[in-house]
A = this chain, B = another copy of it.
């Protein structure tokens, strides 16, 4: 099997992470903060250390980290945690995922907010010059933007977008699910929230994700429940992570992340992904029937490439790759409702998406290319 669906979840994980997860199940499977014995304290320390390591990646402090069980939940915590008023303007890039758009559309239904797409040039994929005019005309409450498109591998011009947003007092939310820990340019500059997903670019397991609340913006709780503290209070505790984090913490997944963060420090994932991406691009461009979805400067993309094959729907290509060549790619709309108008891929029912990780090789790409050459 050749696995090229790493944008859905990275696989395999480093051996160090598998060993850590087994160790955690056997030695740390306790409920942190729900008791005062040694092991409960030990796992509480692991949780604190993990918050510290995550936040230090963007030069923040541990108390800015809020854990969730998925980046979807993290985005729900932020979106339903903010205060909304009728007519609020929310800007989103055309590359956003349904984990951003579906909660925002629910807010639109409840509070009559405006959801506005940031205009991007269809050739260069740069932001259009009229974006600032839009911001002046419709003052932004928030801007939601991905660091990397899960469909096209495009690294969005976050700094430019968020800097403009800050000029008009926007709350800037960076969905870094696809590249946190890998893309070293992600920083706290001009961002208010950064969302991360353990099981994607952080090479940890399912079950741990969250966000960094850089400027400690107040959020109402989204999840309500036990916090192992202040038990007689029928409301969520007011201070600290407990205000937002209800229920037992998944120490197993957190310990996996604790160890994957160490592994990430010693491996240059991005360089590997860039090399593989260039190799894939050069190889796939030589196939006449293939249509790729890329900006004019392909250096802005990395790790993920979307394409179609003339005469086939995306799903048909995926089925052939799977059934005849045991190659795993993802096909369809990739939970991104806007991007397919932007790249004009609806006539193929979406795209065929190839997404690589540190463990892929040029040989994997060769197999894919050989398979595509049979079409």
> A residues engaging B (CB < 8 A)?
1, 3, 5, 8-9, 11-13, 17-18, 21-22, 25-26, 29-31, 34-40, 69-73, 75-76, 97-99, 101-103, 105-106, 199, 205-207, 221, 223-228, 231-236, 246-253, 315, 318-319, 321-322, 326-337, 340, 350
Contact B247 A71, beta carbon cutoff 8 Å: yes
Alpha-carbon separation in the docked complex, A152 to B40 (Å):
21
Contact A39 B76, beta carbon cutoff 8 Å: no
Contact A232 B337, beta carbon cutoff 8 Å: yes
- The smallest C-beta distance from A284 to any residue of chain B, in angstroms, reads 19
Contact A25 B13, beta carbon cutoff 8 Å: yes
Tell me if A's interface is mostly helix, strand, loop or mixed.
loop
User: Which B residue's beta carbon lies closest to that of A5?
Assistant: B35
Q: Can you pick out 22 interface pairs between chain A and chain B where the beta carbons lie within 8 Å of each other? A: A3-B39, A5-B31, A8-B34, A8-B35, A18-B22, A21-B22, A21-B25, A22-B25, A35-B329, A35-B330, A36-B319, A37-B322, A37-B329, A72-B248, A102-B226, A102-B246, A103-B225, A206-B249, A206-B250, A206-B251, A207-B252, A207-B253
Known A-B contacts A21-B21, A231-B337; the reply to A328 vs B206 at CB < 8 A is no
Residues of B within 8 A of A12 (CB): 26, 29
